[in-house]
Amino acid sequence: MEASASTSTARRLRAFRRWMRDHGVVCSNALRLDAAEDGGGGVYVRALAALREGDLVATIPRGACLTPRTSGAAEAIEAAELGGPLALAVAVMYERARGAESPWDAYLRLIPEREPVPLVWPADEAERLLAGTELDKIVKQDRQFICEDWKECIEPIILSGELEVDPDDFSLENYFSAKSLLSSRSFRIDSYHGSGMVPLADLFNHKTGGEHVHFTSVLEASDSDSEDGEDPNNASADEQSTIENSADIPSGDDDEDLEMIVVRDVNEGEEVFNTYGTMGNAALLHRYGFTEMDNSYDIVNIDLALVTKWCSSKYSRRYARARVSLWHNLGYSGCTSQDADYFEISYDGEPQLELLILLYIISLKSDAYDKLASVAHDLIGDDEVDSISSVLKVVRVTSSNQHPDISGLEKLPDVKKLLLNESVCSALVSLVDMRESLYGSNTLEDDRQKLQACSSVNERNLYHSLVLRVSERTILHKLKKHASSWSKTKKRKQL
């Protein structure tokens, strides 16, 4: 099977190379496109000769990119007033439906029908494998939104008959497939084309911190500034790959090529990597369908709702509402995503400062709380909240002990230590336990053993979900260990 897949990929690569020549895509002789060694039909890029920083290794005409403007469906897309990811999804589905008649046929045959992102996993499998992870709710929401988009925007185009294609080619399943390609492969090109599929550019694999090539337009950055204030790099969540210094070309002129520049030396024989940005495994799996072991950009979120639930169970709902309200009144807030507020726990297990402040306020005794509430208005300045100075003010007002030396504190870790009393540390441990319970009955060690025995090729979905689970749970374990250690340190100092 692997030999057959490799032969098929080699044949498609030859057709793609001919396509590049016919469409003006220039790829350096120092680069070679090869079939992936795992036999899965993928492609990677390696260096046939040493590459040095500044080398130009490829140019791609804008007209060779598959966009809502260049697609044969352009008129229908414009008539339907579609834009952004919706427009590009229609363009991709339409060109796929045209088969050999599409100008992008050789390119579309080279890339997969769909990317292995959780969005296109079987729904029951995704729910089981992603339970408790950062992607659990996100993937479910994605599915809901995509179904709504298809019903409201894609189905009317099919029913109109304007595109003259088989309705099955625009099915909900094919729309999911197109969305997976956009998530993983689309690039922001410019304000005229918007985002699109950039042949050759999307064949370079990602490596965090290991980028060799970067994409840029020929025009200088100063020429790409939008006069109307529009951000030319304003890609949506499923269009995260961008082309740096992308140029606004309202005329639709395709003369300016996109360039691929070496930004870090590559030795002969090495794979040549791009980077999709500094992302944790949740983002990588969500958008691109893979994870990286020991990804230092991994984080875990603890929802404000979880903190409120813990506080309500320990005290009361009224107590929780009052404490959270005071925290807000002091100018604090967590991170916000759609309709949920949350706090980030870093790869090292460090909790976000705003979470510690909230737990500190929750742990205050009644007299200290009342005192803080009475002066809350005076503690808020006209300027944006300065994390360190605001924390020092809160500690001064609420602490029964004198802290003559806290005025000199300037580093965030030192300020955090002021908030880590025994009650706050205990709360952190309780929150970790509650967050951990979302993963189910399996322990962290269970997941580690499963991961060790899992095949990244034959059990791809399971493997990458386990990498994500293990990383997140390890972070929570670090936080719990830190909290226990901080609590013991405080007790020793009090003795």
SS (H, E, C) 90-159: HHHHHHHHHHHHCCCHHHHHHCCCCCCCHHHCCHHHHHHHCCCCCCHHHHHHHHHHHHHHHHHHHHHHHH
Among 179, 166, 89, smallest CA distance to 80 is for: 89
DSSP 206: B
H/E stretch holding 73 reads: none
Beta partners for residue 216, in sequence order: 244, 259
Residue 216 — φ and ψ, nearest 5°? -150, 160
Tens-of-pLDDT digits for all 495 residues of the chain? 555 666 788 899 999 999 999 999 999 999 999 988 776 668 999 999 999 999 999 999 999 999 999 999 999 999 999 999 999 999 999 999 999 999 999 999 999 999 999 999 999 999 999 999 999 999 999 999 999 999 999 999 999 888 888 999 999 999 999 999 999 999 889 889 999 999 999 999 988 888 899 887 644 343 333 333 333 333 444 443 333 333 333 344 456 889 999 999 999 999 999 988 889 999 999 999 999 999 999 999 999 999 999 999 999 999 999 999 999 999 899 999 877 899 999 999 999 999 999 999 999 999 999 999 998 888 776 454 557 778 888 888 887 665 555 666 667 777 888 889 999 999 999 999 999 999 999 999 999 999 999 999 899 999 999 999 999 999 999 999 999 887 666 555 554
* Domain coordinates in residue numbering, the chain: 300-493
Give, in degrees to the nearest 5, the angle at Cα 297 between 122 and 144. Answer: 30
Dihedral in degrees, nearest 10, Cα atoms 335, 354, 321, 313:
100
pLDDT at 401: 63
pLDDT at 380: 73
Within a 10 A sphere around the Cβ of 273, how many other Cβ atoms? 19
Q: Which two tokens stand for residue 354?
A: 């705003």
pLDDT at 489: 64
Name every residue whose Cβ is closer than 8 Å to that of residue 4 and which is 6 or more positions away in sequence: none
pLDDT at 409: 62
The answer as to CATH 3.90.1420.10 being correct for domain 300-493 is yes
Name every residue whose Cβ is closer than 8 Å to that of residue 310 and which is 6 or more positions away in sequence: 427, 430, 431, 434
pLDDT at 220: 34
pLDDT at 411: 75
Q: Counting beta carbons within 10 angstroms of the beta carbon of residue 402, is it exposed (0 to 12), middle (13 to 18) or buried (19 or more)? A: exposed
